[in-house]
Structure 1
């Protein structure tokens, strides 16, 4: 337990925020949580050693950066952990220089922030809360052959349009917004649950699926993103940890740093085209024991290395939080 007092400011990403808060409680002596609109006021009351902010986007107030500067003026150290890189770098480039330390889960943005003169920039992958994302028994209403949960970004639309003929005879569950973009929407509509799916429901569907597809969103500017520099996505999304923590086989597209977190073909499976995805879906749906073995190895790797407790211990080391 580090002898440090931390004031944490959530982004509003329920699964990530709660995982970080619980991990902080196991890592540092005192943890306080405040809303972004009150961060400077709460910092003046609590007087933490560190203000620790997740992401700093979307729901943060217009005076966000003024509040951060006010906190720094109190002699309190500040750190931000970007969880949406590189999709909003048009905004994060204005935020990062106001913090003492910038953590980012995305490899491609490390040099970007260093080039802006940020004094300390650290690559820090995200993780999962295994107390929440875990193997559980579910009823038939949550069971499927193939599951995908996420927004219908255009690359995802193209993929599901391409594999729609294969999905026709399967038990499929798709959830998220914008799926009306599909050319094959009428064909797939019966599989789609529109809108945001609560985290605990997602966990049930991950557990009930034989295979979960994971496809990272496209990064190009103008396609649902604010990425003026068109930085590539090199790092894996938090969904990869979450699916693995449920003990379910996932088929994922490949990001550069995937190999540093999981072993393809051993702890999860990968695909590079719609044709390869269909081939591997068909193969693993017919080979249950192999499917379960890979999923369990992925679960074990996740519990050993990719929990928020493990990640916050690393954060504590790099930020030099004293024991």
Structure 2
């Protein structure tokens, strides 16, 4: 009897392994076909010299830098501590600053004024809106041009007297976020990577019992403040996760959840104006670029970039999230088809090469 039971368990394991390998092969082949088929359009070089000042958001900065290198005549990258010195030395046509927060020096705005005094056009691209409006409303008026990925802050900057304000969404660096085969240790049914802001804590507390029966991976800080932390503790990796590992976990997951952070003032952010979050985060593009099904809470501008139910999926409540996880884990072909369509859309329209073309139009480089 024991021998028969062991044989049955062995057959089940073989069947499961075969099925997983077959599904992986289908995904790999389909992703490769999309990557070969979707080619970036040919582009002419804009006759401008740009000084770029990174924020320290590794994947965003590198995506923008590589896109700019292929688009402008000359690109230089400067540390925020020395941007005025570098601008005076290089005399670029434009200084483009990402975000201007967190790691920027206390004399940041003095440096910007010094650059403007040289007749060099200064541009800032805010990537943390609307969560830090307590800081950005002070910074924005010091720049000639303000770019923001957040719809809710566009009019705020205009009302402050900023002469040029453009809604400029973020994107993905496809040289980093891309489909790849990963080791078994990165595989999961459900994955979430990000800080445990209170709205995320509430959502995962609500579905903790359900997730116990799945292969789950959660990473980020503060997850131990969940009420149901003990139920998911074995699935949680506390602390910061390097970008390269995030990419591996996105690729190894059958479903990746993307839940935007709360915008309520005082709740883990400095949204002094208490603005609503109306625009999608960069994680939306990054997950889809890995060819994985994404379940995301909707933002107002989401339909401008992806078709919900066709290129990714959405949820608004914990019950809906649980039900959609359940559905797509048992409907493999639908799950894979949506993920592949999301990958195709991302490569066609939402790389930093595409955004830099939009930026060039906004700034009159073309």
TM-score (norm 2): 0.88
Q: Which runs of 5+ in 2 are unaligned?
A: 1-44
Q: Following TM superposition, by how much is the alpha carbon of 1:29 offset from its aligned partner in structure 2, in angstroms?
A: 0.7
SS of residue in 1 equivalent to 2:60 = helix
Alignment of 1:241-260 (within 5 A): 241-260=285-304
- Distance, in Å, in 2 between the alignment partners of 1:226 and 1:205 is 30
SS of residue in 2 equivalent to 1:256 = coil
Q: Deviations over 1:51-81 (max 9, x none)?
A: 0000000000000000000000000000000
- Distance, in Å, in 1 between the alignment partners of 2:268 and 2:113 is 30
Partner of 1:175: 219
Q: Does 1:46 align with 2:108?
A: no
- Distance, in Å, in 2 between the alignment partners of 1:267 and 1:192 is 28
Partner of 2:57: 13
- Distance, in Å, in 2 between the alignment partners of 1:272 and 1:156 is 12
Partner of 2:79: 35
Alignment match of 1:239 (pick from 274, 283, 300)? 283
- Distance, in Å, in 2 between the alignment partners of 1:277 and 1:220 is 22
Q: Following TM superposition, by how much is the alpha carbon of 1:227 offset from its aligned partner in structure 2, in angstroms?
A: 1.0
Q: Following TM superposition, by how much is the alpha carbon of 1:5 offset from its aligned partner in structure 2, in angstroms?
A: 0.4
Q: Deviations over 1:205-247 (max 9, x none)?
A: 0000000000000001100111111000000000000000000
Partner of 1:4: 48
Partner of 1:69: 113
Q: Which runs of 5+ in 1 are unaligned?
A: none
Q: Following TM superposition, by how much is the alpha carbon of 1:153 offset from its aligned partner in structure 2, in angstroms?
A: 0.2
Point out the structure with max Rg over C-alpha.
Answer: 2
Structure with the higher helix share, 1 or 2: 2
Partner of 2:318: 274
Q: Deviations over 1:88-140 (max 9, x none)?
A: 00100000000000000000000000000000000000000111100000010
- Distance, in Å, in 2 between the alignment partners of 1:222 and 1:49 is 39
Alignment match of 1:286 (pick from 322, 330, 333)? 330
Partner of 2:28: none
Partner of 1:313: 357
Partner of 2:183: 139
- Distance, in Å, in 1 between the alignment partners of 2:280 and 2:98 is 17
Q: Following TM superposition, by how much is the alpha carbon of 1:176 offset from its aligned partner in structure 2, in angstroms?
A: 0.4
Q: Following TM superposition, by how much is the alpha carbon of 1:186 offset from its aligned partner in structure 2, in angstroms?
A: 1.1
Count of aligned positions: 322
SS of residue in 1 equivalent to 2:345 = helix
Q: Does 1:148 align with 2:164?
A: no
Partner of 1:22: 66
- Distance, in Å, in 1 between the alignment partners of 2:237 and 2:271 is 29
Partner of 2:29: none
Q: Where do 4+ consecutive residues of structure 1 move more than 3 Å?
A: none
Q: Following TM superposition, by how much is the alpha carbon of 1:157 offset from its aligned partner in structure 2, in angstroms?
A: 0.2
Q: Following TM superposition, by how much is the alpha carbon of 1:11 offset from its aligned partner in structure 2, in angstroms?
A: 0.4
Q: Following TM superposition, by how much is the alpha carbon of 1:180 offset from its aligned partner in structure 2, in angstroms?
A: 1.1
Q: Deviations over 1:147-190 (max 9, x none)?
A: 00000000000000000010001100000001111001111110
Q: Following TM superposition, by how much is the alpha carbon of 1:18 offset from its aligned partner in structure 2, in angstroms?
A: 0.3
Q: Deviations over 1:300-322 (max 9, x none)?
A: 00000000001001101110114
